[in-house]
Amino acid sequence: MPEVRVDEVRRFMEDSLRAVGAPESEAVAHAALLLHADVTGHFSHGLNRLEFYINDISSGLTDANAKPVILKESAATAWVDGANALGATVGNFCMDVAIRKAKECGIGWVVAKRSNHFGMAGWWALKAQLEGLIGLTFTNSSPILVPTRAKKGTLGTNPIAMFAPATGGDYIGVDMASTTVAMGKIEVQIHKKEPLPEGWAMGTDGKVTTDAQEAFKAGRLLPLGGLESTGGYKGYGLSAIGEVFCSGLSGSNCTHRVPKWSFTRQGDPMDLGQCYAAIDPNCFAPGFGERIADCLRTWRNLEPVDPELPVLAPGDKERINAEQTTKRGSIIYSESQIESCDTMARKIGIKPLKVV
């Protein structure tokens, strides 16, 4: 499998974004967001997605030079027009406002309309956590989640992320879609030529399928919990919470009106809704960081069912992946990923990715 130095991946991402007209600061910010996904092992949200953003900018669907503006605000809240800027541009703008408000009055709750895909939801919650705050992020997305009892996708994977700081630089980091899995995991099963577990997806006939190809073609993901008998209506409910906080508060497209995203999309901007919140633990009981550390210690020390598979706290998997990537200094991609990057590099006239 081809290996690429971390700095070279960053260089390639930044060059790509600059080549289609993103200003320096936004190319750097958006590359940092995508690189974080690959470094933490979430390959569905990193280099794999770069061409989607490049297509959106070069076809004029995203305005990489736009600047978000606050339309309305109170001491603790803000309503933002994302101005159809890059997801990272909107994310940095909104989370900075939320952090400032949290430091001033305990909580900042910021929503944006006219945004675009903002990569891993957790990246934005992490930004608040690094300031000693609880970070909370939601986004809506394309209609792909099948509500309980229905036949086709109407809500989104609408992820929820929450990061909370513990003492000693430790933290709890939750970053999860409201579906059982993201579409990227179905693609992985296709590459492995393995069936899906029951409860991941529906086929085009509106029945649960274990055929990965059929599931990919249908694009109908089951909510977290799967079918009604195993609590799938709860994943549907989580997605609805995201919808209320994102399109409901911001006035963006509701998920059922969001266009499908692709390498070659034309048409209207996505007009996604997003919600960014920061909460200052100092406004509540003293000793927050110690209590979070106590939880982390307790969970990690639980006796595992399989001694080979230790119990992890939410966020540990990503942290372990990031440590391994940093130690190795490089990221391992599939052959087809490198090939598609080469094709794109030729198209936009930049230096291709240098494989080690």
Judged by CB under 8 A, the chain residues 228 through 257 that form the site for a second copy are 229-231, 233-238, 240-241, 243-245, 247-251, 254, 256
Tokens 């399989």 correspond to 306
Q: Distance (Å, rounded) from C-alpha 182 to C-alpha 113?
A: 23
- Residue 55 or 180: which CB sits closer to a second copy? 180
- Residue 55 or 255: which CB sits closer to a second copy? 255
- Residue 269 or 352: which CB sits closer to a second copy? 269
Site for a second copy contains 313 (CB under 8 A): yes
Q: Are 245 and 277 in contact (CB under 8 A)?
A: no
| Binding to a second copy in span 190-219, by CB under 8 A | 197-200, 206-207
CA 239 to chain centre: 14
Q: Of the candidates 121, 164, 272, 338, which one interacts with a second copy according to CB under 8 A?
A: 164
As measured in angstroms, the least distance from the Cβ of 78 to a second copy is 8
The helix (run of H) or strand (run of E) holding residue 330 is strand 330-332
As measured in angstroms, the least distance from the Cβ of 305 to a second copy is 5
- Residue 206 or 329: which CB sits closer to a second copy? 206
Q: Distance (Å, rounded) from C-alpha 183 to C-alpha 157?
A: 9
Stretch that binds a second copy, among 23-31, 109-117, 186-194, 263-271 (CB under 8 A): 109-117
What does the buried/exposed string (b/e) look like for 136-156 if buried means 16 or more CB atoms within 10 Å of the residue's CB? Answer: bbbbbbbbbbbbbeeeebbbb
Count of positions on this chain that bind a second copy (CB under 8 A): 88
| Binding to a second copy in span 74-93, by CB under 8 A | 74-77, 79
Q: What single letter denotes the amino acid at residue 68?
A: P
The helix (run of H) or strand (run of E) holding residue 110 is strand 107-115
Q: Distance (Å, rounded) from C-alpha 193 to C-alpha 237?
A: 32
Q: Of the candidates 28, 32, 150, 348, which one interacts with a second copy according to CB under 8 A?
A: 150
Site for a second copy contains 288 (CB under 8 A): yes
Name the β-bridge partners of 145.
Answer: 155, 221
